[in-house]
Structure 1
Amino acid sequence: MTTALERIERTTQALKVFPLPSAVLFPHAVLPLHIFEPRYRALVKAALEGDKVMALAQLEAGWEGQYGERPPMQPMLCAGLIIWHEELPDGRYNILLQGVCRARLLAELPPDKPYREVRVQPLPDAVYHGPEEERLRQAVFELAGRVPASFAENLLPVAARSQGGALADVVAAAVVPEPERRQELLCELDVRARLEAVMEDVGELVARLSPVKPVGPLN
């Protein structure tokens, strides 16, 4: 059976990429997207008819006046798989994109399609086990006591079963909202350093939040 990473590796010479300045996808995380621009409807349609692989990328600074063209993309992006889709009557799509691995942009292909395609080097994480994993989990457990129960119930099981770089990525996907900071963490290839960086983000969030007061009588 073909793995998700193998599916990504088969597309590295012509990876479909959606530049989206407002969102950063992490490996192992799922991002909902509403696709309405004609060129990216064409991208999703082509992906769904083929391998279901596409990537999300950030644009370099100064893109605002060129978005309708092909402004330069930042070199680190995330390749993923469309795991669910809904095509609307007018041709728009709702999709769920699951991140698989980081990828380094090597070159952009000639503009012979309405959407953009790039040649990339996939960058899956090396296996890593260290004390940073347990410290990050403990920080997440402390955070869970300061956020709504619905948020904690979604985050805790994912954090409990994730390891190494995946643990850093799923926690960052859940707790880091700013695209610039998310892109910084996406660019961090050293798993130990990434775990420590996400632990700092969680620690800062915990420090800003008061513990959730219990509801109902105490026994």
Structure 2
Amino acid sequence: MTAQERVERAASALKVFPLPSAVLFPHTVIPLHIFEPRYRALVRDALAGDRVMALGQLEPGWEGRYEGRPPMQPMMCAGIIIWDEQVEEGRYNILLQGVSRVRLVSELSNDKLYREVSAEMLPDLPYQGPEEEQLRQAVFELAGRVPPSFAENLLPVAARATGGMLADVVASAIVPEPDRRQELLGELDIKRRLEGVLEDVGELIARLQPVRPSGPMN
């Protein structure tokens, strides 16, 4: 069974971890430290089953109601736990790999500590357009202005990725602000998503000076 099929099968009762500080994109991996009892239960149940869970954002104004069940933003990213480690006091370290955008349809009523939703799968359709090459060229230019270790991780992925995946992997690497990441996660039009990420890369290039090679110059 493919990762997409596993998420599709779980979509009718999808486990959700609302985390205001983090937004996951499809085709990318995020490390998470799970320490709250309700989300330890979520991870424990996921590991005992299909290993599928979603990362979501809460609607603005959640701060005073975090211990309850404040409204969640409808656009989420569902993924698969690809690595896990249980540490002291029943906590977990996990790596969650994004698989697909999903849209919250309804929240399920249950007696579990954590939240589950019925969700609609929103996989990207194939796309080809000039925005792909424009974004790749911008990433290549950015690579000359960032530390080599960062460029070495981003360049091979950007060279292979196409369409919506290209926008997602670049956005995951260069956009730190959760609100902007959520905005890009919610952009289902691939052309507009590529154009949006291209603008973000351009703004980052404008703020950075080229990295000068060390050592004597000829």
Identity of counterpart residues, as a percentage? 74
* SS class of match (1:13): helix
What are the within-5 Å matches in structure 2 for residues 16-165 of structure 1? 16-165=15-164
Distance 2:45 2:125 in 1: 31
Q: Distance in 1 between matches of 2:191 and 2:99?
A: 19
Deviations 1:136-167 (A, max 9, x none): 00000000000001100100011011110000
Aligned partner of 1:204: which letter?
E
Distance (whole Å) between structure 2 residues aligned to residue 95 and residue 216 of structure 1? 41
For residues 55 and 128 of structure 1, what CA distance do their matches in structure 2 show?
25
* CA distance in 2 between partners of 1:87 and 1:209 (Å): 40
* TM-score, normalisation: structure 1: 0.98
How does the TM-score come out when normalised to structure 2? 0.99
Deviation at 1:205, TM superposition (A): 0.2
Question: 2:196 is matched with which residue?
Answer: 197
SS of residue matched to 2:12: coil
Give a deviation string over 1:76-103, Cα, whole Å, max 9, x none: 0000000001101310000000000000
How far, CA to CA, are the matches of 2:60 and 2:134 in structure 1? 35
Secondary structure (helix, strand or coil) at the match of 1:90 reads helix
Q: What aligned pairs does 1:164-183 form with structure 2 within 5 A after superposition? A: 164-183=163-182
CA deviation vs aligned residue, 1:113-133 (integer Å, no higher than 9, x gap): 000000000100000011111
Structure 2: unaligned runs, 5 residues or longer:
none
Q: 2:89 aligns to what SS in structure 1?
A: coil
Q: Secondary structure at the match of 1:22?
A: coil
Distance 2:138 2:110 in 1: 46
Q: Could you tell me how far 1:217 is from its partner in structure 2?
A: 2.4
Say whether residues 1:15 and 2:14 are aligned partners: yes
Q: 5+ unaligned residues in a row in structure 1: which ranges? A: none
Cα displacement string for residues 170-204 of structure 1 (whole angstroms, at most 9, x for unaligned residues): 00000000000000000000001100000000000
CA distance in 2, matches of 1:30, 1:175: 14
CA distance in 2, matches of 1:4, 1:191: 21
Q: CA RMSD in A?
A: 0.7
